[in-house]
Amino acid sequence: MEGEMNHVLTFTALLLVSGCAITPKPTLGPDGKPVTFIDGMSAAVTYDKAKKACPNGYAIVEEPQEKAFIDYEMTVECK
């Protein structure tokens, strides 16, 4: 039983450290242009993910918002 609990705690810690390993998801915004929804552990992480998802720059459609204690979301339009 103790071994199982250690595995669960290790897995949970890895998820937290990895920023939940969520990848940007492209979709269409209100104006019909493609936008990317980004989720991360902090506002800084979401900005870093936006830079990686949009190497030519981006416009912020929705500023980072804290959705939970360690969950931020923002929407960008890649250039």
| Domains: count for the chain | 1
Q: Which domain holds residue 27?
A: 22-78
Task: State how far the Cα of 34 lies from the Cα of 75, in Å rounded to an integer.
Answer: 10
Per-residue pLDDT tens for 43-77? 888 899 999 999 999 999 888 888 777 788 889 99
Instruction: Give which of 18, 60, 19, 59 is closest to 42, Cα–Cα.
Output: 19
The answer as to whether 15 is a domain residue is no
The answer as to whether 27 is a domain residue is yes
The answer as to whether 45 is a domain residue is yes
Task: State how far the Cα of 9 lies from the Cα of 3, in Å rounded to an integer.
Answer: 10
The answer as to whether 16 is a domain residue is no
pTM of the complete model: 0.62
